[in-house]
């Protein structure tokens, strides 16, 4: 029992000594008790109007040394995922690029991805969102300029802004004052002069006044009658206009004639991995009254069959192909070279 009491007393003395040491460490130079805070060593931020203060700003910089190409781009008319983007065979890594439609001047920032070079058609493949922003029509090759972008930080010296309220207080406006003349109290005679006076017209004046009032009443009655007749005429005119609109035959409106195409123009309808499917597509086009051919082509070590329609007389043939279900059909500019190679 005695040993236990001795150990407790020893621990109590050690605890008191530790508390006293911590208290002395917390005393400041004036003898006051002040614990250090986390914000004492942190530097205070500069005020907004401090001189020579700089701020960080970011901006886009074109980097043609990383990637730049100007070539024809095509949107196949189908909706695509991923937002605004283009794809090109020479792209190595995904990039952030500026895409410009050189035909109408519209531009947008988007992404660049890599596509397979063996795919037919223009080298630049365009997403549906990018085509909508750039004004590109489905199946119509359009010349595009694509340049890589990089973000760089620049330091701009902040210009302190002057507070207009403080500036107005620094230059107070001087106000001139002038004493007014004293107002004299009104006398009884002036009050009598200001009282209203009843005016009695002579018999001739009263007759003239009655005549004017009678004329005004007659004019008001005539105006009301004219307004009623005008409203009836407007109503009859509106009914006649409705009858004329109903009698117009909308089917009589003549559509604009199709735009002619250059001689020998052809359209690529599609590429098929099965020859029978390509033949069936060509037969469907021929049955519709449009010439069509099937060409064999080696792509990636395997044979595919390319269906070409033409020659086409005007652009209505392309619309007819799309209406038949060939939504990927588009005009091929170098038709003679393609047909000769195949």
Q: Tokens 């901006």 belong to which residue?
A: 59
Does the pLDDT of residue 6 top 80, yes or no?
A: no
- The Cα–Cα gap between 329 and 335 comes to 14
Beta-strand (E) ranges in the chain?
A: 54-62, 68-74, 85-88, 95-101, 107-114, 124-126, 142-157, 266-272, 292-299, 302-309, 330-332
Nearest to 268 by CA among 297, 310, 298: 310
Mean pLDDT on 233-259: 62
Does the pLDDT of residue 231 top 70, yes or no?
A: yes
- Tell me, what's the pLDDT at 337? 42
- The answer to whether 74 touches 128, Cβ cutoff 8 Å, is no
The torsion defined by the Cα of 223, 227, 228 and 234, in degrees rounded to 10, comes to 160
Exposure string of 66-94, with b = 16+ CB inside 10 Å and e = fewer, is: ebebeeebbbbbeeeeeebbbbbeebeee
- The Cα–Cα gap between 98 and 150 comes to 10
- Tell me, what's the pLDDT at 219? 73
With pLDDT > 90 as the criterion, what percentage of the chain qualifies?
Answer: 23
Q: For residue 112, give Cα distances in angstroms to 97, 146, 327.
A: 6, 9, 25
- The Cα–Cα gap between 185 and 198 comes to 27
Q: Which residue has the higher pLDDT, 119 or 78?
A: 78
Does the pLDDT of residue 252 top 50, yes or no?
A: no
Q: Of the spans 137-141, 175-179, 221-225, 314-318, which averages the highest pLDDT?
A: 137-141
- The answer to whether 269 touches 324, Cβ cutoff 8 Å, is no
- The answer to whether 279 touches 270, Cβ cutoff 8 Å, is no
Helix count and strand count (H, E) for the chain: 8, 11
Give per-residue pLDDT as tens, 270-284.
Answer: 888 888 998 999 999
Tell me which architecture the domain covering 266-341 has in CATH. Answer: 2-Layer Sandwich (3.30)
Give per-residue pLDDT as tens, 29-76.
Answer: 555 555 555 444 445 555 555 555 666 678 889 999 999 999 999 998
Q: Of the spans 28-42, 89-103, 249-263, 326-340, which averages the highest pLDDT?
A: 89-103
- The answer to whether 101 touches 142, Cβ cutoff 8 Å, is yes
Give per-residue pLDDT as tens, 138-168.
Answer: 888 999 999 999 988 766 666 666 667 666 6
Token pair of 323 as six digits: 């209406």
- Tell me, what's the pLDDT at 1? 44
- Tell me, what's the pLDDT at 129? 94
Mean pLDDT score of the chain: 75
Mean pLDDT on 290-312: 88
- Tell me, what's the pLDDT at 112? 92
Mean pLDDT on 210-236: 74
Lowest mean pLDDT among 212-221, 245-254, 255-264: 245-254
- Tell me, what's the pLDDT at 52? 57
Mean pLDDT on 11-22: 67
Q: How confident is the model at residue 225 (pLDDT cuts 50, 70, 90)?
A: confident
With respect to CATH, is domain 59-155 assigned 3.30.465.10?
Answer: no
Q: How confident is the model at residue 115 (pLDDT cuts 50, 70, 90)?
A: confident
Does the pLDDT of residue 296 top 70, yes or no?
A: yes
Report angle CA 108, 109, 113 to the nearest 5 degrees. 120
Does the pLDDT of residue 131 top 60, yes or no?
A: yes
- The answer to whether 36 touches 147, Cβ cutoff 8 Å, is no
- Tell me, what's the pLDDT at 64? 92
- What are the boundaries of each domain within the chain? 59-155, 266-341
Model's pTM, two decimal places?
A: 0.34
Q: Which residues does residue 141 pair with via DSSP β-bridges, in sequence order? A: none
């Amino acid at each position: 029992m005695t040993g236990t009491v001795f150990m407790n007393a020893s621990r109590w003395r050690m605890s008191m000594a530790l508390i006293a040491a911590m208290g002395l460490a917390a005393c400041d130079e004036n003898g006051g008790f002040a614990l250090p805070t986390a914000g004492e060593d942190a530097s205070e931020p500069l005020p907004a109007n401090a001189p020579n203060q700089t701020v960080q700003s970011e901006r886009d910089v074109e980097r043609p040394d990383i990637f730049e190409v100007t070539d024809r781009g095509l949107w196949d008319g189908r909706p695509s995922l991923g937002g605004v983007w283009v794809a090109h065979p020479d792209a190595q890594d995904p990039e952030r690029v500026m895409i410009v439609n050189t035909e109408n001047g519209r531009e947008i920032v988007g992404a660049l991805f890599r596509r397979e070079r063996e795919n037919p058609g223009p080298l630049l493949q365009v997403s549906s969102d990018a085509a909508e922003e750039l004004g590109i029509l489905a199946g119509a090759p359009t010349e595009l300029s694509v340049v890589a972008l990089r973000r760089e930080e620049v330091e701009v010296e902040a210009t302190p802004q002057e507070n207009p309220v403080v500036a107005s207080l620094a230059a107070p406006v001087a106000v001139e004052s002038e004493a007014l003349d004293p107002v004299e109290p009104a006398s009884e005679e002036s009050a009598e002069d200001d009282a209203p006076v009843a005016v009695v017209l002579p018999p001739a004046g009263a007759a003239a006044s009655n005549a004017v009032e009678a004329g005004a009443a007659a004019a008001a009655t005539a105006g009301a009658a004219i307004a009623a007749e005008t409203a009836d005429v407007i109503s009859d005119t509106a009914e006649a206009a409705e009858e004329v609109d109903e009698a117009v035959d909308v089917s009589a409106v003549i559509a604009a004639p199709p735009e002619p195409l250059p001689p020998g123009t052809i359209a690529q309808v599609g590429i098929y991995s099965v020859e029978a499917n390509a033949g069936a597509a060509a037969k469907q086009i021929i049955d519709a009254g449009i010439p069509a051919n099937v060409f064999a082509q080696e792509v990636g070590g395997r044979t595919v069959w390319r269906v070409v329609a033409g020659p086409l007389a005007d652009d209505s043939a392309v619309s007819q192909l799309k209406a038949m279900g060939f939504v990927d059909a588009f005009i091929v500019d170098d038709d003679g070279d393609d047909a000769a190679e195949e």
